[in-house]
Chain A
Amino acid sequence: MIGAQGVWLGTARVRLLTAAALFTAGLPPVLDRDLSWLGSWKKALDQGTFSITTLGPVAAGIACVVYVRLRRSGVPDLLSQARRPWLGWLAPALGVWALASAAVLLICALTTTAAWAAGAHTYPELFWVVPPALAVLGAEVSIGAMMGSRIGHYWAAPWAAVSVFTLFILSSVGVVPGVFRTGGTSGSLSAETFAIHPIAAQAVAALGLGVAVMALSHWDLFRTSSTVHRGMCAVLVAAAIPALFRLHSDSDERYVSSSVEYECRDGQPTVCMLEETTRPLDDLAARMQRLAGPLVAAGVALPARFVQKLPGDSNLDEGSVRLFADEELGATVTDETAARSLAQPADCPAYSSDSPEDLPEVVFTIDRVLTHWILVQDGQASAPTEGGLADWWALPAEDQHPWVRTTYDALSDCRLNALRLPQ
């Protein structure tokens, strides 16, 4: 019976076209402005499941069309004479869900493969987040099927799609529990992973909603299903109720902190980045090791390692890799980024202070001067000829070295109140 119902999805060619349309519909959330997910495999996987944001509503609309056709063709009356009418009624929805799931899996495979090809560290054990997302997709398809069956007119298809898309928006902004949000984050997911409990609750809630909505799509046929089927539906619906209460709208709940691993490039200095976001590491290390030359020539004691820090981390023995979010996920960094990192040889606790006694304002000026000095020595920038420090900038490099050494020592020891501008 299930196989025979596949005919409601059309010929093999139509099914292929449907899958292609679903795949294409899922691309806009994935193809964001700068494909930043190429820099993080976890983010690439999350972006792949996020494709359900637009793919799901389209699948719901297609399911709606299929069930309008079923309803108008008198199929429920025929099914009521069949041996397993309920399975026959479910089969077209399962078919649409299977096609949509194949499209989601293909998108996830593409995003994660592309991130891997771009040099991101892989975490195949995290593929467990895909089945819960497919459960959400199933709930969306069931909503479309229910609307098609109940309304019985083809005009309901765009309404089904809009309704499901609206549920995504309401889930995302916290008006309803976050069942219909299947990923998407602006962060890099470095030192983070997917939270098992909220995502499991999301899957249970989606399954419960899905079976409840399908039962409502044709209650008479559902009543004729076997006791086992009805019992399973009742269990899933009962499990979905606490799961819905467990789900919050807080978008950050989907992610939790994970263990921190680093990948390093040895040299003078050694440069380390979080394992998840090593895409720009080779470029950053090469630039920092080249730009360290003028500092070494000035006689400063460079820290052995510069490390990408997490918020709240503080290590006086290591320099800080200072990247903006887009640089963390990008393929390359700029010389200015490399110089900015070199200009912070210790991650002093005072950097996160609001008190001018701990963090004097001159620190920010000195940070800019030192960064610019490194770039000037490397020929990447020209020395300022105006302003209060113009005389100092005009000095030969050897005469600037004492200030550079003194300043770097003070920064390395976190003696921020000892910092002085060049005279």
Chain B
Amino acid sequence: MTAALQAWGVGRVGLLIGAAVLLIETTATDQFLLPTFPDRLNGWALVPALVALTMAEPLVDRSPDLTRHATRSPVVIALARLALAYAGAGAVAGYCLLSPDGRMVAAYVLAALSLAAGTVALTGPWYWVPLLPISFAWLQHAAGDFPRPTFAIPAPTLVAVVAGSCLAYVGASAVREEVQRRQ
């Protein structure tokens, strides 16, 4: 399992956690204006976008041939990949919780990874292509207000979003595996 984790990028996840902490420490409470944005953007808004774009990378199966010959079922492998990605996002979310303003951001970090997992289920290794414009739209939407209470995500909604995306990802992985097995 250690070899699999290394192949899936556990080292990079660690690096990304460090990058996210650095981002939080240097810009989270800064306010800056981006072109065409009507209001100033709070640095916190960058954190979910960064997590969505990069932390979902272990969810991409870069070696489908190895996966096909694995002894474990594709569902278990998909769940293990999810566990790795959510462990990274969870660490970032946990660090966000250390700040009074970060409680809201922590929920968005998990929601962002859910969105990314759903996108991986749909587009595979190209997940970052739709996520990048979506991230820009998110920053535009978040400017001026995030992380104010109006952005609060109810806990049941967050749980449903995370569970739904996990189901979508595991389901898509199993279907893809089955299709490849039949070919």
Contact = CB atoms under 8 A, between A and B. Distances in A.
Contacts of B9: 155
Interface in A1-45: 21, 24-29, 32-33
Contacts of A26: 133
Contacts of B133: 24-28, 54, 58
B1 interface: no
A183 interface: yes
Nearest to B36: A184
Interface string B137-179: 1001000000000000000000000000000000000000000
Given A155-B12, A158-B54, A25 B35 contact: no
Contacts of A183: 35
Interface stretch (B74-82, B90-98, B106-114, B124-132): B124-132
Interface string B57-83: 100101000000000000000000000
B36 A162 contact: no
Nearest to B131: A158
Contacts of A185: 35-36
Interface residues of A, number: 33
A54 B136 contact: yes
* Best-surrounded residue of A21, A53, A155 (most CB of chain B within 10 A): A155
Contacts of A57: 132
B36 A50 contact: yes
B122 interface: no
A186 B125 contact: no
Interface of A: 21, 24-29, 32-33, 47, 50, 53-54, 57-58, 61, 154-155, 157-159, 161-162, 165, 169, 172-173, 181, 183-186, 251
Given A28-B134, A58-B129, 20 more contacts: A24-B133, A26-B133, A27-B133, A29-B36, A29-B136, A32-B36, A58-B132, A155-B62, A157-B125, A158-B127, A159-B54, A162-B53, A165-B132, A172-B33, A172-B34, A173-B34, A181-B35, A183-B35, A184-B34, A186-B37
